Chains A and B, each alone.
Chain A
């Protein structure tokens, strides 16, 4: 099966290791992974800030970049969620509507792809440690991916999964919200950090690097030892 990796600008620049784990995971399950180098950013920073015109040029670039892809898989619920919104955004644009629909229907977040397309439940990995999982908002509410990450994590050998209190609450990232409303944003991150501590987990795991950067940045500032990991880091973990 041919899979085109959608790295997301965030992982491209800040967390390339997440991309490596994603590629290795996909290859482990027999996918042939390519990287369409014309890809940039999904458009979300501009779209969510109200700059529709600016976001659309980014979206068009993405549609061009992945035109020939069979499947598009990315390590972010939020960015893949954005792509899945393209059909709505281009609904009245005869030139791009079809492309938007095509791209949306072949795009998947990595855990969603593993579970729902490849039919994998047990990736066969081992990870020793106490782990709590933060379900990021766009992953669960926009993309609708709730159970897939848990299914995969539950099958990891050695893992001790701890339920995060009020896990569905946003961590406070929210793109430009984190800067425009930084006071509120950091209060939200602090509460999340408290909840992580309550679980006594050593690792906070999530499917969106932006949220992990926010919670992790807060925990680090508080001097906590909890490590943040992208879910692919656990799924691809070998002894």
Chain B
């Protein structure tokens, strides 16, 4: 590669090509942004309650044990489809009740079983969290996960 590919030429290909790929990437990102807001997550309104639920989710760092849409830690079950597993995707009241019951039963204290901490969460926050998980569940994830086990 000595004759045709001089150092200056290699450098110019690097700069030029990189700019090209950045431009393509930005254009596709803009299109994806629109797709997410207008199609993929349009199945349920992004209410204040859902927003609040996302903050509750973040404040307790749930992501550092669980995955959500397959991203996060791999220590605890996938939660992007937990409402599907609970049969509560269409039923806010049921979603809240099961979630509340589950969270209040933690930690299980069972010897040799992974432990989920007990969190201080008000009723209002618990409802918001349930709505956030219902909202996440309706996202069009290209049919992932392969089955309800998550």
Q: Is chain B found bound to chain A in the same assembly?
A: no
Chain B residues engaging chain A, CB cutoff 8 angstroms: none
Chain A residues engaging chain B, CB cutoff 8 angstroms: none
